[in-house]
Amino acid sequence: MPFISTNPATGEILAEYPVTTAAELEERLETAGAAFGTWRATPIADRALVMTRAAELIESEIPVIGEMLTREMGKTFAAAKGEASKCALAMRYFAENAARFLAPEAVEAGGRRSGVRFDPLGPILAIMPWNFPLWQVVRFGVPTIMAGNVVLLKHAPNVPTSALFLEDLFKRAGFPTGVLTNLFVEVDTVAALIGDPRVAGVTLTGSERAGRSVASLAGAHLKKCVLELGGSDPFIVAGHADLDLAVNQAVVGRIQNNGQACIAAKRFIVVRERADEFVDRFAAAMAAVRTGDPMDPEVELGPLVSRPQLDQLAQQVASSVAAGAVVRTGGAVLDRPGFFYAPTVLSDVPADSRAGCEELFGPVATVSVADDLEHAIAVANDSPWGLGGTIWSTDDAEIDRAIAELECGVVFANGIVASMPELPFGGTKNSGFGRELSVWGVREFTNVKSFHVS
């Protein structure tokens, strides 16, 4: 079955690409292995030069890249250009800092000298999602490549043009052939790839179900694995919240990437004393969101990525409403071409309903009321996921308590959760394990090797 690029705003098929044949796959695995031998021996300063060149290429092509992302995935043109810029920023950051992050560390352990060094592992299989077609790959791939590894990219089947762009970008920047290799392979090929002795590790960003499968396979072959899985991030509005800021950012947090982000705010938990005003204002602000053609600069919310994604969200909402959830605004598929769902706010959501216990991957928010901050944190933690979370307050004591007690990998105060090169990114509980970005991301796929000279 070919890999098909479809415009979610219209349903139009943009391009089709053939599946990688068995012979082609074998050739690419051999090429990646050979590239690793060359790349690991390349001085970090030289790696940095070509990585900086890749950043320069992106920066010179942002409008073209943005249009490609918008047409293939459906995010707004502004968001698409922002994603491209963020990729260039990360490339520059790791080009500038990788040598420091990977420098051997001296340790006092007696003898003449002792320490730790960080050696690359080899070809790393990356199973990537469609929602941030470039950034997800860059977030894992750039630190990993700067560490001396090479990447085998199995991208989501609905963003093939983005996958080819990345492979071509690395070639144009001057990386050796095989440092980043695209594989148009079906899901049933992944198990064999993970088991292939030429593959040194695997990372996946995707669903919890996919994460369990990949972790099981990686474990069976004793290979390093990093998982960034789903999330249902809490957005806590505390007693000392600035409601103007909280309402504005609640909308931004819920509709970012058309609501299709693991780290998007999804569960809005408000202390009782602020609840009525917040819910009324939040519902009104969501109702005012401009929805339509994502290439239109006035549009804030574009389509969902596909018909199955739209149908699933509609079923989750309908089932939850039937169970007792109250629609404050939205709650319907929009009657227009493409895969559009109305910005939606649900309150009084039963905990055992689909909206109460499943991740909602689209512009649908659930709001619940907590007695106080202690109760709000308890509600936030009553979740199988632990990716990100936010606290909205002008009181440092409230902020510090949330930072300490929220069970997640990333906590932001008075700002929506974001991934940034300087901070490690990843989750806990069913949101996965391992870290991307920062010094932790650079070292994730390395052999932390101790040495001691007597």
Cα–Cα distance, 195 to 189 (Å, whole number):
10
Burial class of residue 220 (count of CB atoms within 10 Å of its CB; 0-12, 13-18, 19+): exposed
Pairing of β 446-453 and β 201-205: unpaired
* Catalytic status, residue 186: no
Alpha-carbon gap, residue 270 to 392, rounded angstroms:
10
Contact indicator for 373, 402 with CB cutoff of 8 Å = yes
DSSP per residue over 303-363, as a string?
--S-HHHHHHHHHHHHHHHHTT-EEEE--SB-SSSS--B--EEEES--TTSHHHHS---SS
Which runs of consecutive H residues, i.e. helices, occur in 61-108? 62-73, 77-102
What sign does the CA torsion over 90, 92, 95, 99 have?
A: negative
CB 419 within 8 A of CB 139: yes
For residue 316, what are its two tokens?
């989750």
- Coil, strand or helix at 83: helix
Q: One of 83, 87, 225, 262 is an active-site residue; which one?
A: 262
User: Which is catalytic among the residues 83, 167, 228, 436?
Assistant: 228
Residue 335 near residue 297, CB atoms below 8 Å: no
Question: Is 262 among the residues known to form the active site?
Answer: yes
353: number of CA atoms within 13 Å, CB side?
Answer: 21
CA 272/CA 370 separation, integer angstroms: 6
Which amino acid does the sequence have at 328? R
**Residues carrying an active site annotation:** 228, 262
